[in-house]
Amino acid sequence: AIPAGLFMPSVMVGTTLGRLVGQLVKEHVDPSVFSGAYALAGAAATLGGVQRATISLVVIIIEGTANVHFLLPIVVTTCTAKFVGNLFGHEGVYEIGLRRKGLRFLEHEPDWTYDLATAGDVMSHPVRTVHVVEQVGVI
C-alpha cells in the first residue's frame, strides 16, 4: 500500500516545533512576537522538507489561513526546507514510497534517451486507431 497518514503528523510536528521557536523568540528577544506565525512557518517547513512540494503547498497553506500576509514567510520557509531536504536526496517521502512499491510515476526530468527519439521510433506498425467510444481492455 502507498504510505498514508503523513500529512497531518507532519503538520503537527512542524507546528509544535515552530511554536516552540516562536515562544523562545517571544520570551528572550521580542515580547511582541506572535508565536502563531512561527507555528505556521514550522508546519510549512516540515511539509516542504517531507513532501518536497513548493507551489502547491504554499497555495494550500495560504488558502487554509485566508491571510496573504503570511505569503512571503511561507514561501521562504518552504523553499528553504525543500533546498535543505534536497541536500540529502531529491525525492520526497511519497516518491520514495512509490519507488519502493515498484509503482510507476512521472520523473521530474525525462530520460536523456528521449531527446534522441523521434515519433517514428515510438509508433506502432501498422497504426492502431481508437474509436470514439472504446472499451478499456482494447486501449
SS3 for 44?
Answer: helix
Percent of the chain with pLDDT strictly greater than 70: 97
Q: Indicate the pTM of the whole model.
A: 0.70
Residue at grid coordinates 514567510: 73
Residue 38 contacts residue 19 (beta carbons within 8 Å):
yes
Q: Quick check: 29 pLDDT over 60?
A: yes
Quick one: pLDDT at residue 106? 76
**Residue pair 43/19 in contact by the 8 Å Cβ criterion:** no
Residue 80 reports pLDDT greater than 90: yes
Q: 73: Cβ–Cβ under 8 A, 6 or more apart, which residues?
A: 37, 40, 41
Question: What's the mean per-residue pLDDT of the chain?
Answer: 87
Coil, strand or helix: which one is 51? Answer: helix
pLDDT at 123: 82
Which residue pairs, CB below 8 angstroms and at least 24 apart, start in 77-80? Answer: 77/41, 77/42, 77/44, 77/45, 77/48, 78/44, 78/45, 78/47, 78/48, 78/53, 78/54, 79/48, 79/54, 80/45, 80/48
* Whole-number pLDDT of residue 45: 94
For the residues of 97-137, what is the DSSP string, one character each? HHHHTT-----SS--GGGGT--HHHH--SSPP---SS--TT
Q: Which residues of 3-132 form beta strands (DSSP E)?
A: none
Structure confidence at residue 12 (pLDDT):
92
pLDDT bracket for residue 3 (50, 70, 90): low
pLDDT of residue 15: 95
- Evaluate if residue 42 carries a pLDDT over 90: yes
Instruction: Assess whether pLDDT exceeds 70 at residue 70.
Output: yes
Please state the rounded mean pLDDT for residues 81-102: 88
